[in-house]
Structure 1
Amino acid sequence: MLRFMPVGDSMTIGSAGEHTWRYRLWQHLCATHGGPFALVGPRETLYDKATDAPTSYAYADPDFPRAHLAGWGEGWLHMAPLIAGAVRETRADVLLVSLGLIDLGFYTNAEQTAENVRKFVTEARSANPRIRMVVLPVIPNIRAETEDLFAAEVTLFNELLAKAVADLDEPRSPLLLTSPPPSYDIHTDTYDGTHPNTCGEHKIAEAFAGAMHQAWGWGQTYVAGTS
């Protein structure tokens, strides 16, 4: 059985009342993967905006494996120290990673964030030397439209991320960088300029699914209307 662990920030944990892209990808894999799999991780909740805490189980459709390692306001900086333990605990085979926006926005510059990517990979491999990782580039949010310096940091980080993935990729533990989500538009695919709405959830899931299908032959072409 393949064990997939979604790892991310607020775009991955989602908030109360949402489906999340995790759900959309799970639906797609159920329909197309052709083999046993599970979503794993040490956490299950959504973020509750009313209490400002990750305490909600109010998924739009709770009937799916909700496990993940994602947190509202958490980035590469926060996940690098946690990933080895999470991989050991869950015996994860594949990490689906969407991180970086919160790092660049509040904690670290592009170079420092890229260094934390490398620490994350090292830590994950210390727990499973054959771990696979699929990594989503940072999607520029509404802040990048109004702050040129922030937009430049996002662009630089994505370049450094691509280099880190290329440098660290190895046959026994493949690293795969997805293409940006197809036709993603923060004005139509998010509800606030950052966090995905239904359309955005599908497009993020499609980015992960498409990368795995193209590189590894897993699943099939993503069709949003059936997921």
Structure 2
Amino acid sequence: MSTTDSAPDLERPLRADAARNRELILQTARKCFAERGLSVTLNDIAHEAGVGVGTVYRRFADKDSLIEALLSTKFEAMNAAAARAAEESDPREGLRVYLMGVFEFRARDRALADAIVRAGKARPSVVEERDRLESQVNAIIERAHAAGVVRAGFAWSDLPMLTVMVGAVADRTRDHDPDAWRRYAEVVIEGVLPPTGRQPMLGAPLDRATIEHALHGPS
């Protein structure tokens, strides 16, 4: 990803109409990527936004530069979630709050995992936000380890795969039960943070038709 493609858009003041178009494109891209993943094209985004594709290309040289512009807002939101989790007085609850928060981000946003992977090649400001998130979450995890409430060996680097697992459930059940992922996210969280008491599982089991659609229907 080129760091020069998107930088001018962020540094040069835009006319009011150009600024509105840029924000419209960003909002539309955020929605399209969240719902359909990063396979969405700039043509798709232009059509959805109701603007000409040339308008999109004037603001963003290519899809990578558009994704990079969205990365900042994703990391800002996750950093805010980590800050809230760190304020929890109970170490176990702090980590639980963050895990459920990041799983919810992924359940709403199919492009989240791919976008985070791309962050390493983004502008320095985006990389800085990513590193700040890693530092915050590591502190939350270390506090849970110090309190003896998290499984030995659990680390920040486990989060991407856990998020992929919960995201797969969310993607396959979204049309039938948009909150089904919460039931399975709780199972994952209790695998990381063994419960102190016997709590019932969240929600209800999926019915046979929903299970068959989730396993064999389109993702």
TM-score, with structure 2 as normaliser: 0.31
> Which structure has the greater CA radius of gyration?
2
More strand as a share of residues: 1
More helix as a share of residues: 2
TM-score, with structure 1 as normaliser: 0.31
